[in-house]
Amino acid sequence: MATPTMPPDPRGPRPRLLMCPPDHFGIEYEINPWMDVTQGSDAAIARRQWQALREAVVALGAEVELLEPAAGLPDLVFTANAGLVFRGLFLPSRFRFGVRQGESPLFERWAREHGFEVVPLPEGMYFEGAGDALFCGETLFAGYRFRSDVRGHQWVGERLGVSVLPLELVDPRFYHLDTCFCPIAPDAAIYYPGAFDEYGRSVIRDQVPRLAEVSAEEAASFSCNAVVVGRTVVLNRGAPKLAATLGAMGFDTRPLEFSEFIKSGGSAKCLTLRLDGEEAAAWKSSPAAG
């Protein structure tokens, strides 16, 4: 007897996210202003916060795939830094700091085992994946200075055949682009102006028609580091002004606690990697495109 096939989902394909359980997460070194090895993190609370995020995105319709955690790699939990997915390609990160470079072989192996074509960047370039490279519409917005470099972004743009807009990050607290900029639709994004120089701010304002500006106070609670599933934005609790702005723009918000991960310089977006691609093609078949 033939197995019946499910009818196609009228909402389009489900978003696919990669996450890594925080079994070995902790503050074991300091590579950004948020990290303090003397403060540490609470493993039990971190586990609950991670699980709440996983449950929230699944409830919103996303499919979550898991990477096995590894001892000695406490930041492996931040899968956004694994690389950049573009259609069937996976461009793995080249981390600036040696303490994170051990993550790359694990991310690359996972990608190959799951059918992606792995395309490494040339030696001598720094590129930290979807932490610093985010599509808004058909343009790749690329943060540089603290982790990634312009040469890496240029190579990525040429390899993928897409337009790249480099944006210099000027505040070390917002060392990755995804800590201060979050596309929420092909023509809309959340951003914190203070993380960019005047040129970067002008580029964003010129290129993104609808912007939800975040205050300095709410930016410090990592409210820009959000996960978008359809028309719902999952973000750190403590950003009521941003939530009101997003509501006026037609988006729902799902505030959650990420206190333990903020101690390491990450929040919701850092804990996920879009496997169906960060590019605009993912939105064209998504409820968020409406």
Catalytic center residues:
176, 270
CA-CA distance, 79 to 157, in Å (whole number)?
21
Q: Is the dihedral of CA 171, 177, 178, 180 positive or negative?
A: positive
Taking CA 182 as the corner, what is the angle to CA 180 and CA 183, rounded to the nearest 5 degrees? 150
* Residue 151 backbone phi and psi in degrees, to 5: -60, -40
CA-CA distance, 246 to 288, in Å (whole number)?
13
Please state, as a whole number, how many other Cβ atoms lie within 10 Å of the Cβ of residue 117: 11
Radius of gyration of the chain (CA): 18
Taking CA 136 as the corner, what is the angle to CA 164 and CA 229, rounded to the nearest 5 degrees? 145
